[in-house]
Chains A and B, each alone.
Chain A
Amino acid sequence: MIEITCNDRLGKKVRVKCNPDDTVGDLKKLIAAQTGTRWDKIVLKKWYTTFKDHIQLQDCILFQTLNITRRRHKIRYEIHDGMNIELYYQ
């Protein structure tokens, strides 16, 4: 079980417990249940990566490019416990 924090920066911040083998769609439904939105209107993002519905959380790979010393570093992440995901609405 992992717990993920989702935050749209408009006053909503929820912590959702889920399994790592849940899909992003499932996560969205859970978030929707807690926030009271329609799940298909939810967009989950981390930086510029939008997570797609059919992918399991443990397989979510997000490439993060950092501009450190003008070289682009790609850093990979999975969705892990305690991670903060940006919550957007379509």
Chain B
Amino acid sequence: MGSSSKKYKEKETRKRRHRSPSRTYEEEYYEASKEKRHKHKKHHHHHKEKRKEKNQRQEYESDSSDVVEVITDDSQSAAPPKSSNRSPEASSQSVESLSIQETNKLRAKLGLKPLDVGNSSTSSASGRSQDDGKKKDDLGEFYHKPAENLQAKAQQEKVKAKLAEIREKRQLHNKYGKVKTLGEEDSNDDVEAWINKNRKIDEAKREAEKRAKMLEELDAQFGIGEVVESEKREKMRQKYTERDLRGLTVEHDLDTFREESTVVLTLKDSGVLDEDEDVLVNVNMLDDERYKKSVENKKKKILYNAYEDNEFDEFGNPKEKSLLSQYDEEIDGVKRDSFKIGYNNVVERKSVIHSVKEKLAKKKIESVAGIQLKLASEYYNEEELTKFKKPKKKVRKIRSKGKLLTADELEEQPQNTGIEAIGSRRPKYKNDPDLTIDDVPSVDIPTDLKLEEDKDDLLEKALHKTRKMKQKENIIENIIKPEIKSETEEENIDSGNIILNATAEFCRTLGDIPTYGKAGNREETEELIDYEKDIIPDENSDDDCEIIEPTGWNSVDPTNQGIDSTQIPPQEVQILDEEPDVSTGVGAALKLAMSKGYLDKEQNNRPSNSRLAHLQAKHYSIEDKSYGEEGDRQNRRERYSGPITDFKEKDGFKPNVKLEYIDDEGHILNSKEAFRYLSHKFHGKGPGKNKVEKRIKKSVQEQLMKKMSSTDTPLGTLNMLQAKQKETQSPFVVLSGSKQSQSTALSKSRR
């Protein structure tokens, strides 16, 4: 530490103030040790140094407080203030610590109060907190209620319990202290005393008897005997009777006692110190009850009742169920049925009353007067209607056979029948089951469709039949034939439906083909057909309906087949329309042309609005929707009739607009071509040369196609063949290879 160089010393002295204090401390330490033993040379230097230091310290003393003095004192006093108990955990550094005594001494010098050793820091802290009785919050804002001392509380309780026990003991002692126990009573252990005692008793008895005899004699003398006897009888009567049993509790169910059977009841065992009243029991019955209970336990009842079925007591009232009732016994103890002797009737009556009361309590009171009687209506009123939810209609499955009917076709169906009716005035031939065609004569627009497989043909037919019968009934209301009635009534199809099977469909399309171009015709004929339909059944109502039914398609009941066939001679079936005879006149020829599609009616040419009117929405009108309510709108319309108003005078006007585009060559363009054409025009840039050529070529080809004969190949082979046949006068042509001879000629005939 201390360097030997003088230079250094000087520095030291100069910079004393600024040097680390450890220095001074160690110097002191060395100094102290030096005084005892002089070992090193170094110490000399130290000594010198120390002296200097001392001088300096004197300086300190002059200006500083007594603290410094204390330090000097400390250093001077050999009693080591640095009696350093080096803490074992202190690694390399030495930990200086004074003992309590030393510190106290030091504190006294410093003018501080001594350390409070006895009560440790914690106790002192607690004492401080107890000063004001309250404890402040960490932030010093709130006072906390002091926590209660749990230990003290527990102790108090303990003491209290002990006191109570002692008190009870004393009470019991007071109560039973005078009663002598059996053991105590036999205090006379020696035989002599016992004998003496017995003798005394005996003598006393004898004396008493004597006295009694004497008294009796006296009584007899004075006639008092009778009186005494009557008294005795009185006493006998006062014996223990039913009346005395009144009010005693019997701990058994009343029902367990059978009538006219004797049951011996005993007092129930109870604690000697119990203050409860006496209870009567029968031991056997107790056993029975125990047995019952054990059986019940063995059954292992399922505690959980999923459906919450209410249990009923014997009067039919639902039992009040408490939560987790299975534990009631364990919590409250076993409930035992009991009754009181003498109160039997009361008990029963009470239970009945109780049951009635319960019933009343559980029932809601419903006033009879409140409900007004009403006639039950067969129909729902509006409110009920809104409540009534319609069951959803099941969507009928359509087993389609590939072809779906379009709306147009549906519309045409009734018309078809009509036409066929025109075509075949004669009653139809009904023998062929494959060709039987059924249709609905009713004018209703069919809503549902059903396509059926061929498999259940027979059933189908039967169903058709019945259905048709039903429809006839509708049309001809008055006539109900017994024959019809007798027929099987398997009605499960709505009369509005059309049932199509594959055959029927096939036939229908066959019938359609020739009339296809004639669609426009039908509107005119429709009315007529309907009219006929209505009339004809009336005319022929007396006859068999089936035969004279004028509707287009009929079905034949296979069962009835024989009868029908006998009545009507079989005829050829006409599938196609009868072709009008052209020879009759121009009209017929025109008709034929029209039916063949050679000639179109002018009406057909344009897609007229009136023709498609039935497809348009019925209740749709274009109006300005920005207007408010209906009435409001009308008012406004009256006030202000702007450009939105309808033209009243043009009400019936339905413009028939057809947009056509024609190109430079005069061809009618379809929409695609038209677009292209317009586009080219708009952009001022036409197609390339190749494209144009291609298009021209295509159009030429199209022309050729149109001109092409439909009966022959483009090369005219058929014509050539025919010419050849004519030439050879043979129905065949020989195709021969150049190499092969005639023997391998093949013949080809034309059918």
Name A residues whose Cβ lies closer than 8 Å to a Cβ of B. Answer: 1-3, 5, 7-8, 10-22, 26, 29-30, 32-39, 41, 58, 76, 81, 89
Cβ B67 vs Cβ A32 within 8 A: yes
- Which residue in B64, B98, B120 is a CB contact (below 8 Å) of A38? B64
B20 — which chain A residues lie within 8 A by C-beta? 10, 89
Cβ A14 vs Cβ B110 within 8 A: no
A33 — which chain B residues lie within 8 A by C-beta? 67, 70-71, 74, 81, 106, 110
**Do most interface residues of chain A lie in helix, strand or loop, or is the interface mixed?**
mixed
Mark each residue of chain B from 63 to 88: 1 if its CB lies under 8 Å from any CB of chain A, else 0.
01001101100110000011000010
Cβ B22 vs Cβ A10 within 8 A: yes
B107 — which chain A residues lie within 8 A by C-beta? 30
Q: Which residue of A lies closest to B91 (CB)?
A: A13
Cβ B60 vs Cβ A38 within 8 A: yes
Cβ A14 vs Cβ B97 within 8 A: yes
| Distance to closest chain A CB from B6 (angstroms) | 25
A13 to B128, CA, bound (A): 31
A17 — which chain B residues lie within 8 A by C-beta? 97-98, 100, 103, 115
Would you mind naming 16 contact pairs between A and B with Cβ atoms under 8 Å apart? A1-B100, A1-B120, A12-B22, A13-B94, A14-B95, A17-B100, A19-B116, A33-B71, A33-B74, A34-B96, A34-B98, A35-B21, A37-B25, A39-B67, A76-B138, A89-B20
| Distance to closest chain B CB from A85 (angstroms) | 13
A18 to B28, CA, bound (A): 24
Cβ A30 vs Cβ B97 within 8 A: no
| Distance to closest chain A CB from B32 (angstroms) | 11
- Which residue in B25, B95, B124 is a CB contact (below 8 Å) of A5? B95
* Residue B486, interface by CB 8 Å: no
| Count of A-B contacts judged by CB separation below 8 Å | 104
B125 — which chain A residues lie within 8 A by C-beta? 20, 58
* Residue B331, interface by CB 8 Å: no
Cβ A19 vs Cβ B124 within 8 A: yes
Cβ A36 vs Cβ B87 within 8 A: no
* Residue B113, interface by CB 8 Å: yes
Cβ A18 vs Cβ B97 within 8 A: no
| Distance to closest chain B CB from A88 (angstroms) | 11
Cβ A41 vs Cβ B100 within 8 A: no
Contacting A at CB under 8 A, from B325-339, are: none
Contacting A at CB under 8 A, from B96-131, are: 96-98, 100, 103, 106-107, 110, 112-113, 115-117, 120-121, 124-125, 128
Q: A1-B124, A34-B81 are in contact. List 7 more A-B contacts (CB 8 A).
A: A13-B90, A13-B93, A13-B94, A15-B95, A15-B97, A16-B103, A17-B98
Cβ B95 vs Cβ A2 within 8 A: no
* Residue B24, interface by CB 8 Å: yes
A21 to B120, CA, bound (A): 12
Cβ B67 vs Cβ A1 within 8 A: no
Size band of the B side of the interface?
Answer: 35 or more
Q: Are A15 and B96 also in contact (CB < 8 A) when A1-B117, A1-B120, A36-B25 are?
A: yes
| Distance to closest chain A CB from B22 (angstroms) | 5
A14 to B106, CA, bound (A): 15
Mark each residue of chain B from 448 to 464: 1 if its CB lies under 8 Å from any CB of chain A, else 0.
00000000000000000
Cβ B121 vs Cβ A20 within 8 A: yes
| Distance to closest chain A CB from B726 (angstroms) | 113
Q: Which residue of A lies closest to B18 (CB)?
A: A89
A54 to B110, CA, bound (A): 16
Q: Which residue of B lies closest to A58 (CB)?
A: B125
A19 to B82, CA, bound (A): 20
A89 to B138, CA, bound (A): 32
- Which residue in A10, A20, A26, A35 is a CB contact (below 8 Å) of B124? A20
A15 to B97, CA, bound (A): 5
Cβ B96 vs Cβ A29 within 8 A: no
Cβ A32 vs Cβ B71 within 8 A: yes
Mark each residue of chain B from 344 to 368: 1 if its CB lies under 8 Å from any CB of chain A, else 0.
0000000000000000000000000
A13 to B64, CA, bound (A): 25
Q: Which residue of A lies closest to B117 (CB)?
A: A1
A69 to B125, CA, bound (A): 35
Q: Which residue of A lies closest to B85 (CB)?
A: A15
- Which residue in A3, A26, A76, A89 is a CB contact (below 8 Å) of B110? A26
Of A5, A12, A20, A26, the most chain B CB neighbours within 10 A belong to A12
Cβ A36 vs Cβ B121 within 8 A: no
Q: Which residue of A lies closest to B74 (CB)?
A: A33
A34 to B74, CA, bound (A): 9
Q: Which residue of A lies closest to B75 (CB)?
A: A36
A15 to B75, CA, bound (A): 18
Q: Are A3 and B21 also in contact (CB < 8 A) when A13-B90, A17-B115, A20-B121 are?
A: no
A81 to B112, CA, bound (A): 19
Cβ B115 vs Cβ A11 within 8 A: no
- Which residue in B24, B95, B98 is a CB contact (below 8 Å) of A36? B24
A15 — which chain B residues lie within 8 A by C-beta? 87, 95-97
Cβ A11 vs Cβ B93 within 8 A: yes
A14 to B98, CA, bound (A): 9
| Distance to closest chain A CB from B53 (angstroms) | 11
Contacting A at CB under 8 A, from B306-345, are: none
Cβ B24 vs Cβ A81 within 8 A: no
- Which residue in B25, B87, B120 is a CB contact (below 8 Å) of A35? B25
A33 to B71, CA, bound (A): 5
A16 to B110, CA, bound (A): 14
Contacting A at CB under 8 A, from B1-44, are: 20-22, 24-25, 28
Cβ B96 vs Cβ A1 within 8 A: no
A1 to B107, CA, bound (A): 13
Cβ A18 vs Cβ B124 within 8 A: no
Contacting A at CB under 8 A, from B276-296, are: none
A29 — which chain B residues lie within 8 A by C-beta? 67, 70, 110, 112
Q: Are A13 and B95 also in contact (CB < 8 A) when A26-B112, A34-B81 are?
A: yes
Q: Which residue of A lies closest to B64 (CB)?
A: A38
B100 — which chain A residues lie within 8 A by C-beta? 1, 17
A27 to B94, CA, bound (A): 20
A2 to B97, CA, bound (A): 12
A34 to B128, CA, bound (A): 29
A29 to B120, CA, bound (A): 22
| Distance to closest chain A CB from B23 (angstroms) | 10
Q: Which residue of A lies closest to B29 (CB)?
A: A36
Mark each residue of chain B from 501 to 539: 1 if its CB lies under 8 Å from any CB of chain A, else 0.
000000000000000000000000000000000000000
Q: Which residue of A lies closest to B100 (CB)?
A: A17
A29 to B90, CA, bound (A): 23
Cβ A19 vs Cβ B115 within 8 A: yes
Of A10, A15, A81, the most chain B CB neighbours within 10 A belong to A15
Cβ B25 vs Cβ A12 within 8 A: yes
| Distance to closest chain A CB from B95 (angstroms) | 5
Q: Are A18 and B25 also in contact (CB < 8 A) when A3-B97, A32-B71, A89-B20 are?
A: no
B22 — which chain A residues lie within 8 A by C-beta? 8, 10-12
Cβ A41 vs Cβ B21 within 8 A: yes
Cβ A38 vs Cβ B115 within 8 A: no
Cβ B64 vs Cβ A30 within 8 A: no
B113 — which chain A residues lie within 8 A by C-beta? 19
Q: Which residue of B lies closest to A23 (CB)?
A: B112
A10 — which chain B residues lie within 8 A by C-beta? 20, 22
A32 to B81, CA, bound (A): 12
Cβ B112 vs Cβ A14 within 8 A: no
A76 — which chain B residues lie within 8 A by C-beta? 138
| Distance to closest chain B CB from A7 (angstroms) | 7
A32 to B25, CA, bound (A): 10
A1 — which chain B residues lie within 8 A by C-beta? 100, 115-117, 120-121, 124
